[in-house]
Amino acid sequence: MKSTFAVLASLVAVAAACGDDHDHAHGHVHAKREFPSAPLTRPSRPLQWDSVNIIHTTDSHGWLLGHQKPSFPEPNYSGDFGDFSSFVTHMKELALQKDVDLLLVDSGDLHDGTGLSDGYPTGGVDAHASNEFFKQLPYDLLAIGNHELYIYNNTLDMYRNFAPRFNGRYLSSNVNITIDGVSRPVGDRFAKFKTRKGRQVTALGVLFDFTGNDFNTTVQPVEDMVKEHWFTEAIKDEPDFFLLAGHMPVSRDNWPLIFNAVRAVHPLTPILILGGHTHIRDCRESLQLDGRSMSLESGRYMETVGWMSAELPAPKIHRRHNGEDHDTKNITFTRRYLDPNRVTYEYHTGRGNFSFDTAWGQSITRGLEKLAKTFDLSFQYGVAPHDFTLSQSPFPSNNSVLSLMAEAMPVALTVNNSRASIPNIMITNSGSLRFDIYSGPFTKNDQLTASPFADSFLYIANVPFSAASQVLPALNNAGANERRDIAVETELYARGYVGARYREWVQEMYQRDLETEGASARRAAANLTLGYVTTDSCPGVGDDTPHTPLAFFDSPDFIASASPEVTDDAPIDLVFVDFIESQLIQILNQVQSEKVFTTEDVGTYTPVLATEILGIFAQQAWN
């Protein structure tokens, strides 16, 4: 999971059909393009528009052709980036009609995750092609993410080919790249601009304290950034509001350091924060309960489009002209988490299926489909017999992706392998699997979706079975309440691992529903589809469309193939993904004392990479 660090995909174009009359049936038909339809629920109520409004995206990870599988909750997120472009265009028109400000903001992580971003031919650069479509939208502000930094060439591509498109609005306040021995910001450190309605904005684009970046890239700790002279100068003059975008979660991270630094200079200036990184829907009305700030985080994988509105005072220049002093009243904020699909987009823009598409949006959709064809993302390895999920089914079980991987490793890693006849145990980390597999054709794109990390497999020969069989339980901290050591969890988070926080959020959602008396019956009576059911720290209901929560089953941190039927003293091959080499060697030396194993005992087991395992298995088992 070290270099490619991808996340997922699902790429065939479909969108939802919705008539011009928004008062017809509760269930809308998802059937704009060429694939089977699924009924979609329309939003529960119109958006709240105020004087300043923001459309927010984050952690898109290449999901520009939407989620196109028929199993729920995928249809909820089936709008592609062309649909989103049309949505933004119509919302900008509505803002003009209402004579209010509307900004479009992104909080980073454009790389690593779908066939569009990761399926490029040998010699290419991750997300270079998919980012060309991102560049076609009128973003007012963007912030860098950690996935832009795992590979130097990706960062260089952002510096040379992406940031210039946005004319100083692509921000990397605490992130530098070194080129020809000179360290410089990847984008800009801050931006100052004026909204259409004349409001002065000071903006930052901050990354959390990330430590997994590649050579010749630098991430300055947030604590040090706020002490820099440039930061002091950037916030010295008072704007009408501060717009802080950043790839940093709005809860349990360092936003208070930036917030407090700004508040020390400007105790009353409104602060709007757009976060990201942990892949959840989250909102905090104020970091310090001062009534004049709000922070929003808008999910992942284009499963959420965030909406924030704020009733801000008139531009400062107008207030001073009228002899007014500072406005000290609490500010009214609202937020909403939108499901990105045609039904949602048409409802909020007041458009129908025949008036929604713009020429620009349709052009983006055609371009994305052409790119998918160029990358041969529809190449089929086999046909999945049913859905396999990461957390909706228990592990082990027939419907678990982790169980599928445990079964697939011995099949795929022993192909044309001279050691195939030697008994083995194969171990990988469950975090290497990042998305569900759905019944039907299993394609190149689905392979990249489910298992995106191009890790290698290593082995140690002649390990006594009695010792090898103890490695997996030790890796999973058996007997320790199945919880990671805090120091280990902290290190993983610093290197960019967000799976634990996302799973915790989904688990809380499901558990809350189970513990709420009558909740399941009410949801069943309302015929709600599966999806996110968000509880955050802001008042009111945040989800735009009501859903029933996904089932959740916990899973171990590491999984292994079935143990061979051999005696305890039989020598076997201990095979493992290279990502866990040092950890595994340490544990192997703890569970036995006959030999001290080192990296000298480690060899390459196979040229097959982790990303290829499920495809090879599918070719053999699903045809």
Q: State pLDDT tens for residues 100-159.
A: 999 999 999 999 999 999 999 999 999 999 999 999 999 999 999 999 999 999 999 999
- Give the relative orientation of helices 81-98 and 342-349 as an angle to the nearest 10 degrees: 10
Going through 233-270 in order, the beta strands assigned E by DSSP cover 241-247
Give the pLDDT mean for 420-427: 98
Residue 322: per-residue pLDDT: 56
Which has more confidence, 525 or 184? 184
Instruction: Give the chain's length.
Output: 623
pTM value is 0.91
Per-residue CA distances from 455 to 85, 123, 136, 613 (Å): 35, 18, 33, 11
Between CA 75 and CA 91 the distance in angstroms is: 22
Q: Which long-range contacts (CB under 8 A, 24 or more apart) does 593-600 make?
A: 594/464, 594/467, 597/460, 597/463
Residue 319: per-residue pLDDT: 60
Does residue 356 have a pLDDT over 50?
A: yes
Residue 184: per-residue pLDDT: 98
- Residue 192 has a CB neighbour count (10 Å cut-off) of 12
Residue 29: per-residue pLDDT: 38
pLDDT digits (tens, 9 = 90+) for 583-602: 999 999 999 999 999 999 99
Q: Which residue has the tokens 């090898």?
A: 468
Q: How confident is the model at residue 485 (pLDDT cuts 50, 70, 90)?
A: low
Helix H or strand E segment including 335: strand 333-338
Residue 288: per-residue pLDDT: 73
Q: How confident is the model at residue 22 (pLDDT cuts 50, 70, 90)?
A: very low
Does residue 484 have a pLDDT over 80?
A: no
Does residue 3 have a pLDDT over 50?
A: no
Q: How confident is the model at residue 9 (pLDDT cuts 50, 70, 90)?
A: very low
Helices (H), 148-249: 152-157, 222-225, 229-236
Does residue 320 have a pLDDT over 70?
A: no
Does residue 462 have a pLDDT over 60?
A: yes
Does residue 546 have a pLDDT over 80?
A: yes
Residue 579: per-residue pLDDT: 86
Question: Which tokens is 185 given?
Answer: 């910001």
Q: Are 345 and 79 in contact (CB under 8 A)?
A: yes
Helices (H), 135-216: 152-157
Q: Are 568 and 309 in contact (CB under 8 A)?
A: no
pLDDT digits (tens, 9 = 90+) for 251-270: 999 999 999 999 999 999 99
Residue 34: per-residue pLDDT: 38
Between CA 153 and CA 156 the distance in angstroms is: 5
Helix H or strand E segment including 338: strand 333-338
Q: Are 146 and 207 in contact (CB under 8 A)?
A: yes
% of the chain beyond a pLDDT of 70: 91
Which has more confidence, 289 or 160? 160
Residue 121 exposed, middle or buried by CB count within 10 Å (0-12, 13-18, 19+): exposed
Side-chain half-sphere exposure of 520, counting CA atoms within 13 A: 9
Does residue 489 have a pLDDT over 60?
A: yes
User: Which of 281, 248, 614 lies closest to 442, judged by CA?
Assistant: 614
Instruction: Go through the domains of the chain in sequence order and give each one's CATH number.
Output: 27-373 (3.60.21.10), 379-482+556-621 (3.90.780.10)
Residue 598: per-residue pLDDT: 97
Residue 321: per-residue pLDDT: 52
